[in-house]
Amino acid sequence: MYELQQAQFAETQSLFAPLAHHLAIESILAGLTPGRVFVDNIKKPRTAVAWFKRRVFLAGNRTDDAVNMDLNSLFTDVYYPEMKAAGLKQSAYTLVYTPGWERAMDVVLDGKNPMRSQRLCYRLDPSKTDWKVRVPKEFKLRWVDAALLADDNLTNLDYVTNEMVSERPSVEDFLEKSFGTCVVLDNEVVGWCMSEYNTSKRCELGIETAEHMQRRGLATATASATMREAARRGYTEIGWLCEGENKPSQALARKLGFSLFRADDTYYAFFDSMLNLGVNGNVQMREQNYQEAAMWYEQALVYGEPPIWLLWNAATAWANLGNQAKTFVYLNRLVDAGFDDRVFLRASEHFRIYHRTSDWTKLIARLH
C-alpha cells in the first residue's frame, strides 16, 4: 500500500463515494481533517483505506489477496502503533467499509479479533425547525469558545477539550472551524454538544452528558442550542451517528427530529489486546453464551494486570457454567486486585449457588 499526499486524495473520491454520507471521509479528502490515505496503486487506485484517529474507511476492490494481506500489515505495522503513540491505546476504532468487504475481513483484520456492529446515520436540516432551548433553572448554558476555556472558575474543562480534539488536530483548530454549547452546574461542566467535521454547509454532532446528570433534558438543550446556531450560520444538513446498540442515542435523535438515512455494517476493535479480548467476552455474555465468553476472558487474562471488571466477568461466566473452581480462582483474584464490596458480592445472583460452600465462607472472610 502506498500513502498519498493530500493533493492526490481526489484520486480516491469515486472509491469512497458510497461512504460520502460520513462527513469524516469527506473532510479528510477535502483536506479539512488531517487524515492519512493509502492506495494499492498511485496512478490507478482500485483499493483505498483512510483514517483519522478512531475513524477508518475502506473502499474499492476486495478480491486481491495480496492487497488484503498488505492492508493487514498496514493495520499492524502503521495504524495500531500510530494510535497507541497518540494515547489511544484504551480506545476502539470503527471501520466502515463499502459493501462486500466482510468477505475479506478474515485476512484484512486477521489477529485483531474485531467485533461487528452497525453505524446508524441520521440526517436533519436545522433550518426547518424553530429551535426552543429549555435549560433547567439550576443549570447555565454556555458557548464552547475561548472565553469558556479561559474561565478559571470552571472545573472539568478537560471534559470539553478532550472532545474538541477528538476530530480536530488542536483546540485552536476547533475554535476556528467548529462550534458548540455546554451546560454548567455550580461551575462544573456536565454536558456538551459540538459540531464535527464541518464541511461546506454540512456537519455532524458529538454529544454527551455526564452520567450522574442524565435524564434532566440537558442533551436536548445542548443539541437544540447547537442546531439553532448551525441554522444561524447557514448549515443545511446535520448528521447524527450512533452505534446500532446505542438505543438512548437513537431515541434522542428521533426526539430531535432526525430521520434515519443509512445503516452501515461496521467492525470495531480496541487497540489494547487485553481490553479487546475482554470486550469480545462481554459481547458473548450479553447473548448468554457463557462458554464462549469464558474462553474470551481466559485469553484476555494472560495479558498483564487485568481491570476489576474483567475478573468479575470471568468469575460470572464460570459461575453460570457451574464451574466452582474457576469461579473462585477469579473471585479471589478480584479481592487480590482490591475489590472489597461485600454487600455487592452477596447481592449478586450469579454466585448464590455457592453461598453455603467453604470457598464462599473463606472468600467473604477476606473482605473487610
Express each pLDDT in 77-117 by its tens digit. Answer: 999 999 999 999 999 999 999 999 999 999 999 999 999 99
Cell numbers representing residue 197 in the block: 467535521
Beta 140-143 vs 115-124: how paired, if at all? Answer: unpaired
**3-class SS of residue 115:** strand
- Say how far apart CA 6 and CA 169 lie, in whole Å: 16
The per-residue pLDDT for 368 is: 74
User: 1.25.40.10, 3.30.540.10, 1.10.240.10, 1.10.260.40: which CATH number matches 272-366?
Assistant: 1.25.40.10
Could you tell me which of 80, 100, 104, 102 has the C-alpha nearest to residue 92? 80
The per-residue pLDDT for 166 is: 86
The per-residue pLDDT for 77 is: 98
Q: Which residue has the cell 476489576?
A: 308
Cell numbers representing residue 169 in the block: 488536530
**3-class SS of residue 361:** helix
pTM above 0.85, yes or no: yes
CATH for 126-235 is 3.40.630.30
What is the sign, positive or negative, of the torsion defined by CA atoms of 41, 42, 46, 48? positive
> Is 363 in contact with 328 (CB distance < 8 Å)?
yes
Domain limits of the chain?
A: 2-118, 126-235, 272-366
> Is 181 in contact with 143 (CB distance < 8 Å)?
yes
DSSP structure string for 123-146: EE-GGGS-------TT-EEEE-SH
Q: Which residue has the cell 455474555?
A: 285
Residue ranges of the chain whose pLDDT lies below 50: none
Amino acid at 21: H
- Topology match between the domains 126-235 and 272-366: no
Helix (DSSP H) and strand (DSSP E) numbers for the chain: 16, 12
